[in-house]
Every structure is written in C-alpha cells, then in structure tokens.
Structure 1
C-alpha cells in the first residue's frame, strides 16, 4: 500500500506554476491498462493494486488567510465519513483520460476550494476550523483484475472499501486531506469512482452535488454557472439556546486530534436489494405510506426482534431539506428528526410503525438547532456523534445519485455508505437505476445498506429471510 506524504502539497504560488507541477503526475486510462499485465506488488490484498497517489487543487489561487468556520452541526459530524462508489462501463469512459478528469477537477475546485483546505484549531479556544490553503484533495489511481460485472455480482460489502481510498483525519490535522478520490480501472475497461468525504464538509446530498458538478465540468456543460462557495464566518453569530438536549446526537469520549470513533463492539456492513415485488408486498400490508417509511418500519421491527429485550425505542431519521435545494451549496443541511415509540416495537404492527414515521414529518421535531446548541455549549470542543447514537435511517431517494454522467451514460450502480457509525447502527436507503432487472422495467427498486454490531447481523439476516427479503 502506498503511504501518504508527510506534508501537504501546496505549490500554488500562481497559475503559471500550478499546471506544470501537476502535469508531471498525469496519466491516462490507457497507460494504466498498459501496466495491467505486470504482476501486482504484495500488498496484502491483490484485488486492487498499483495504487498511485497525487494531489489536485484549484486552478486559481484562493487567497491568503481564507478561513471556513465550522458550525456546531458540522462539528457533530467530525467523527463520521461518507463513502461513495460509482461504477461505469467501458463504453462510458471511452476516450476519457485521467488528465481529462484532473483538468475538470481544477475548474470544479475553484468553486469547491473549501474541500481543498486543512483542519486547524483556534489558538485561543481550540475550536477546529478549515484553513482554505489550496492543499488539494488526494487523487488515487488503481487497477483491478476483475470486470465491473464480476465485481457487482459479489455479496461482500467489504470489497467495496478497496475502491475507496480512505484515511481518517489526524493525528496531524494540518496534513490530513478532507477528500480522497480513487479511479480504479477494471479488466473490461470500465472504471469505478470512489469518494471518501469528511462529513464536516457536508452531508450525502453535498457529496452527490459535488461529484455531479464534476461530471458536468468533464462534459463542459454549465461550467461557468456555479458561483464559488463562500467560506462561513461565525464571528458575529449568536450562539443558539437549547430548550432541551437532543435525542438524535450524543456526546462521546474526547478523541483529541485523531478523528476516529471508538466503538464498544465490532461493526459490520451488509446490503441487500428490494425489488418491485418486495415493495408491492410490503406496501400491501402497510398501506399508503412511502416506500422509505415502509422499509424503515420493517427494519425497525426486525432489528428490535434481534436485540431481545434491548430493542431501540428511539430512532433518528434523516431526509433532504427541501429548503436547501441549491446544488452549489456545501453543508450539513439534511433534516434530522428523532422518533420515539411508546410501545414494544418488536411486537407492533408494521402499519403502526410506518404511520408513526410518516406522520413525524408534520411535527416540529427537527433537532438540528438542538444539536447545534448542545455542541456550542463547549464552543465546539466536545466530541459528539449522530449516526448510531440511535438506530439511524437516512433517505437518499432525492440525492440525485444517478445524475452523474460520463459520455452521456449514467452509472451502472451508485453505492453510498458511512464510515464510523455508533453502536446503535445506521441504515442508508437509496434507489437503484430504473430498469435494472426489475420485474417491471421503469419501476424503482432500492438498495438498503446497513451497518450494525457484528453479532446482530447474522440474526438480522435470518429475520429478513423469514420475511422473504433475502
């Protein structure tokens, strides 16, 4: 495995010097393929090999002393990371080179220069902030001896981690990139694009917007339409007052400068598909609620049965905020609600659970302000988590996961997951592309990604098999 450099790459004295510096490390997809026949180095896992790392920053200098202040909600997410993997066929990347990708990234990062910064702490308070110093995102190239279709046939979710180069932030904060982008070339000529994203930058909707805008830059569509993101300043912002402690976030032991969550048990991730037939059968039992609410109800009850006396009475549900629909805005803007059941979940009717989840949207129970206020009590220096503080469900139906196009083609699959989830677990629910082997072409199907304590996964799979979902 290639090790990361010990210091950030910041040669952005002017545009004149930026491009020669980075052209030295340019390659194209055909050159990766030319090296494909050479035996891979012994790296412990040979499925993805010949990793090459470089840095890509904005094409224009951001300026000196540009600071992006992190809100209390941002800092709640500091121990969480988002991972995304997009799979494309060989036809979709025909004629596309790594140089094309990096050139488009130069222009994109002129707008998203905050992603190229590094974490620093206030000398007076110790509060983290982002120094927008153009150190860049980390760009990784790799090779795989399988085809895209062979990879997609696997049931091993841990394999997908090989397609996303990830390093947690710290312990040397000024030297830790916030974003990693990995391009992996498969034997068939197809590729995957794997993104590791520090959640302090923004939620999954921000991730999707970021990579979709990159695709537009590669296609040279609307490349001048997105204004540069303005850094946030909290200098004159009044601290919010919390009427009560949030249910959807909890304080954890202080982690210092290595931003990794210490779980009390080993966590495991697995995923499964829900077909049109599955959804029809499920909603026939539940009634007129959304597919997302139906799936949440089913899994909430199933997990409650598995936990045998320690069932989750409170869950957290995250959805897109329709008031933050600007594709050019980074931030943790998703709605965060807590839902509490006053009855035994494992023995309850699915319709009762689904109705509780669906009706929650009409109540004033968005906890973002409560979370913000809780973190601000200690000026952002206390460590919190949100995902896994309760069993957490995330709705990515409206995240635009299939709006990224290469050569006019959409991904064969877009897959999202969360790194560093608390012990209560998290569930991501997102659509699969229309017409991909569904019973009725054009009807939506869903992919469900779960991260739970390892000892509960086997029992949950058995419960899902009894429900004819696996």
Structure 2
C-alpha cells in the first residue's frame, strides 16, 4: 500500500472575523449523537502534470473563503449552565492536515481496505477540555502518481452526514465559481406547539420506544475495540437494482418500491445468514428527515432519525416480507411522530444531571442500515469537468451487529444504481461476499472482500 506522510498540520480560519458574542445552540437530536462521528473521503483525479502542493494551495485559499459562511464549524464547544452543548462562534478555525502518498490513486483504490482508507481521514476524540478541541478536521492527501483525496471528519454533535456532504459541495462551489449557490442555513430546529398546550407526546410512538431502548441501555453493549471490523463496498448496476426492487415487491412491480427498501432487505437477510441466524436479527434504519420536517436541504444540523425493525416480527424470512417491514417503519417516521420524539427527548434530557452525562451510542448494537442515497456527493466539483471518481462514508464508531450504508453511485439521478458499504466483524465479511442471495444480483466489489466481480 501507499506510504502516507504528513506534510503539515495547521488551523484554517475564515477570511472575515466572526461576529463577537454569537452562539449557536444544538438541538436534542445533536446531543444524543455525542458519542458518534462521521467521516467522508472524496477521490479526485488530477489532469496532466501538476507540481505537488499546487492543488492543495488553491483549495486552502477557497476553504478560508467558504468558512465565512460556516461560523459554527470554526467555533468551539461549550456547555450552558443547564449542561446543554452549544457552539461559541469564533475564529478558532478548522484543523487541516496536508499529506503525500506514494504511488497513484488508481493503485490505491484497487488495494485499499477499511484500515488503509481511514488513514485518509484525520480524527481526534474529544479532549477533556472541549473548548480547545476542533469539531471538524480536513485532510488533503496528494498522490505522487496523480490524484488527490479529501477526507473530512466531524463530530455528530454538530452535523450529520448530509451536512458533511453539503460542506464539501459548498467548498467545491466556492473553488470553482468564487461563490456558493446553496449556502448553509443555521435556523433553529422546529418545535411543536404541544409543549405549550400541556398535551404529552404519544408514548406508544414507535420512535420513542426505539430511542428509549437505546438511551436506557436496554440490551446495549459498550463500544468495544476487541472486535475487529472490516468494510466491503458493493456496486449494484441499474439493472440489478431494478431486479431486486421487483423481487422485493409483493406484486413484482417496481413503481411502489424503492432502491433503499430493496437493498436494505437484501442485506438484512444476507447479514443474518452469515451470522448463522435462522430468523432475522433486529435492525435500525437511519433516514434523513429534512423533507418530512419541512426543512430546507441546506439546514445545517442533525436530522437523522432511527427506527427499529424487529426481526422476530417477520414471520417469513424472504425479501418481500423484509421490504414490507422496512417500508412500514419508514411510513411511521412522519413529522408528528418525529416531533413527539423530539419533545420526549427534551423532557428526558432536562430531567438529568447533565454536568457529566454522556448518552450511549445510538448506532448499535442492532444492525444499522442507513439511507444516504440522496446527498449527491458526485456534484462536488472543484475543477471544471472533474467529478469525484469515488466517495466513501463511515459512521463511527462501529460496534454490535454492524452497518449497511446505502449510497448513490457516480451515475447520478438518471440511474437506480447504488453503492452499499457494509461493515461487519472481520470473519463475516468474506462470508457475505460469497452469499448466494447477494451473488444473484451480480455486484462489483470496489473495496474489501475479493475486489473482483462476483
């Protein structure tokens, strides 16, 4: 594998000073994501002979300009007197690491595994003094044989993966056009009228029950470093996704289905089989609900919602039954249900001594399946005509049963093709690559596993 050498680590600040005394409060959906972080890697080819450091210098200049529109990510975390996290908007800046890698990016992509790929992203867990800790890190790695990788990591306290993708896209717009077409929106998270009317949220709400299990630690295991996880990345063609959608519908039709429900059910069944289970394991689906909440796509904050799907409720272990259960769970993630959940979470939070409280991680121990297919990372174009050739996402830390991330493919909106990044305990990954249920849809393995067309 390529040798990676750190050239420099610095702090990048905006070109305009941040307004003094400005604060940004984090929603309860951010607070509960405190133990987690997200990591993204965007791979770009380079055109012609370019002196090492030239591309990085140009990107650093536009990064400072872009940060003028992101006062929250250049700021630092503080806690209020009630123990609630907030951001003090200041000019503390973003940590930026410049690195070099031997060989070419193409060679890297053919050989890299999870451990190697995560070297392209820099992350530090929160210091005991969070005010001196950067919540966002950017790492730019130039390959000596051509190509550049941009790695971004951030605390899930401040932002979800939609925000992280938006950050890269607005940086690209600033670089290419000198301005961003869709600047971030930092408005407050919507609140329901219910809290003022004295009406309690519905406690039979499936979302509340799901979060109650996680936050009370029922059946929860701690994050363990003893289990080694591996990631395998599958690419499914438009034709094969359509086939999977047809087979996951009761009437064999495509119009009423979705790529996510079809692929989620495919991996739900397959992961259970490689774990040696005759019945389906429990799964939590994770969806961005900005559109359901009436929020703009540019809203910068946490809008990822989790909903549990119980394997024991599925009587027949087949694609159609699994897809139906997933679709039903998504339909229960409406605005009223989410706002009931938010109100319940705020009540629970306010009833605790928050001075040293840290919520347990939400992304486990069930199998997590996230629908991240609508973020369009391939439109992040820094140089005219040069799209990223691959984008990888990680939702850390991984523990429990594992994760399935359903991502868009480079083909764009005109295609139903999808990328699936699956992270499981190491000994299960190879079994998954050989699972007949997956093989019938002829995926190409891009990373991990055998790296061949199966």
TM tier, shorter chain?
0.7 to 0.9
1:92 to 1:216, Cα distance in 2 relative to 1, 3 A:
farther
Structure 2 residue 251 is matched with structure 1 residue 274: no
Match of 1:68 in 2: 24
Structure 1 residue 261 displacement after superposition: 4.4
Match of 1:303 in 2: 271
2: distance between equivalents of 1:406 and 1:94?
15
- Deviation at residue 432 of structure 1 after TM alignment: 1.8
Going from structure 1 to structure 2, the CA distance change for 1:326 and 1:107 (only over 3 Å counts) comes to farther
In structure 2, the residue matched to 1:78 is 34
TM-score, with normalisation over the residues of structure 1? 0.77
Offset from partner CA, 1:397-444 (integer Å, 9 cap, x none): 210211100222211111111111341322111122129xxxxx9744
Question: Which structure 1 residue ranges, 5 or more long, are not aligned?
Answer: 1-44, 254-259, 436-440
> What residue number does 1:15 align with?
none
Give per-residue Cα distances to partners, 1:280-317, cap 9 Å, x unaligned.
44234223222211110011111222334584234323
Rounded Cα–Cα distance in structure 1 between residues aligned with 2:340 and 2:225 = 26
- The answer on whether the counterparts of 1:78 and 1:200 sit within 8 Å (CA) in structure 2 is yes
d(CA) in 1 for partners of 2:200, 2:49: 51
1:190-339 to structure 2, matched below 5 A, reads: 190-223=147-180, 226=183, 229=186, 242-244=201-203, 245-248=208-211, 250-251=214-215, 261-262=223-224, 265-286=227-248, 287=252, 288=254, 289-309=257-277, 311-323=280-292, 326-339=296-309
Distance 1:205 1:465, change over 3 A: same
CA distance in 2, matches of 1:157, 1:429: 17
Q: 1:399 to 1:298 in 2, by over 3 A?
A: same
TM value normalised by structure 2:
0.80
Cα deviations by residue, 1:45-76 (Å, 9 ceiling, x for unpaired):
96211331000112222133322222211011
Q: Cα gap change, 1:121/1:93 in structure 2, threshold over 3 Å: closer, same or farther?
A: farther
Residue-by-residue CA offset, 1:226-278 (whole Å, 9 max, x unaligned): 377458899xx96995543431561278xxxxxx9456744333322223453
Structure 1 residues 230 and 458: alpha-carbon distance in aligned structure 2, compared to 1, 3 A threshold: same
Instruction: Tell whether the 8 Å contact from 2:43 to 2:388 is kept in structure 1 after alignment.
Output: yes
| C-alpha distance in 1 between matches for 2:417 and 2:436 | 17
3-state SS of the aligned residue for 2:63?
helix
Separation in structure 1 between the aligned mates of residue 186 and residue 100 of structure 2, nearest angstrom: 34
Equivalent positions of 1:111-150 (< 5 A) are 111-122=69-80, 124-150=81-107
Three-state SS of the structure 2 residue aligned to 1:130 is: strand
CA displacement, residues 203-239 of structure 1 (integer Å, 9 cap, x when unaligned): 11111111111111111354487377458899xx969
The residue number in structure 1 matching 2:408 is 431
Alignment of 1:107 with 2:65, yes or no, is yes
Alpha-carbon spacing, 1:414–1:327, altered in 2? closer, same or farther (3 Å): same
- Show CA shifts across 1:174-208 (max 9, x none): 12111111111112332111101111122111111
User: Whole-Å Cα distance in 2 between the matches of residues 143 and 151 of structure 1?
Assistant: 13
Pair 1:49–1:461, CA change in 2 (3 A): same
The whole-number CA distance in structure 2 between the counterparts of 1:382 and 1:376 is 16
Q: Deviations over 1:89-111 (max 9, x none)?
A: 11299695333222212222111
Question: Where does residue 361 of structure 2 map in the other structure?
Answer: 385
C-alpha separation in 2, matches of 1:412 and 1:143: 19
2:439 matches 1:467: yes
Decide whether aligned partners of structure 1 residues 89 and 423 sit closer, same or farther in structure 2, where only a CA change above 3 A counts: same
- Quick check: 1:356 aligned with 2:318? no
Distance in 1 between residues matched to 2:178 and 2:16, nearest whole Å: 20
Once residues 98 and 48 of structure 2 are traced to their aligned partners in structure 1, the CA distance between those partners, rounded to angstroms, is 18
Moved more, 142-151 or 316-325: 316-325
Indicate the SS of the match to 1:272.
strand
Aligned length: 412
SS in 2 for 1:215: helix
CA contact (8 A) 1:66 1:231 kept: no
Deviates more, 1:351-360 or 1:408-417: 351-360
* In 2, Cα distance between equivalents of 1:181 and 1:101: 11
Residue of structure 2 equivalent to 1:446: 418
| 462 and 189 in structure 1: CA distance in 2 versus 1, 3 angstrom threshold | closer
Contact 1:313 1:341 in 2 (8 A): yes
Secondary structure of the corresponding residue to residue 133 of structure 1: coil
